Amino acid sequence: IYSLTLQTKSTCNMIQIVKDKEYTEWIAELSHRYRQSQIKASVRVNNEMLRFYWSVGKDIAERQYDNKYGSHFYENLSNDLTKVVGNKRGLAPTSLRYTKYFYSLYSPLFENHRQAAEDSPQSIYRQAAEDFDLLFCIPWTHHQKIIDKVKGDSRKALFFVHKTWENQWGRGVLLNFLETDLYEREGGALS
């Protein structure tokens, strides 16, 4: 039972609001649904941002913009995008460099799968599509840590993407496992 006090000029009136079990359970359900919606929205935003980063990395890699425009390319790109977009979040020079690393690390895996799928069963193509979609399901900072630790080994990177997703690893746990020989013990045998 919850009490609410209302004061008027001359008297104090007490109004009691009684919450029954059904109402309390409904509030708990609404609260849970609200939190789930927040999580889903966050995942969708992350997914879209990672797809944007993939496309930026692809543009830079395929057009060799960083070679074409010199050593300050990422700083200039960051400044120019910030002026146009008006939001610096995710557009720092370091993040923009990582977009190229991100694309360059994983794109060979999917090019190889696409070529193999032409002569192979549909399951190979389906697995490649699932792996590609999975890239956009883990946080950007996780990708940055993976990129730093795998030294260009695409299969090892994808292994850690899978493990992160399957086990819902936070950044600290991921870093711990990146420092071990987990891939060599478990993942290397799958290659």
pLDDT single digits (tens) 35-78: 889 888 988 999 999 999 999 999 999 999 888 888 899 999 99
Residue 3 pLDDT exceeds 50: no
Which of 20, 40, 18 is CA-nearest to residue 137?
40
Residue 119 pLDDT exceeds 60: no
Tokens of 68: 């074409």
Which regions of the chain does DSSP assign to beta strands (E)? Answer: 2-7, 12-17
Alpha carbon of residue 82 to chain centroid: 22
CB of 113 closer than 8 Å to CB of 125:
yes
CB of 72 closer than 8 Å to CB of 112:
no
CB of 72 closer than 8 Å to CB of 86:
no
CA torsion sign for 121, 126, 131, 132 is positive
Give residue-wise pLDDT tens across range 129-142.
888 999 999 999 99
Give residue-wise pLDDT tens across range 160-173.
999 999 999 999 99
Kindly state the DSSP code that residue 86 receives in the 8-state scheme: -
Share of the chain above pLDDT 90, in %: 57
Grouping H, G, I as helix, E, B as strand and the rest as coil, residue 3 is strand
pLDDT at residue 113, rounded to an integer: 54
pLDDT at residue 179, rounded to an integer: 92
Q: What is the DSSP track for 10-51? A: S-EEEEEE---HHHHHHHHHHHHHHHHHHHHHHHHHHHHHHH
CA distance linking residue 13 with residue 7, whole number of Å: 6
Instruction: For the chain, give the mean pLDDT.
Output: 84
Mean pLDDT of the region 112-139: 73
| Least confident window among 5-14, 25-34, 62-71, 119-128 | 5-14
pTM value is 0.76
pLDDT at residue 39, rounded to an integer: 82
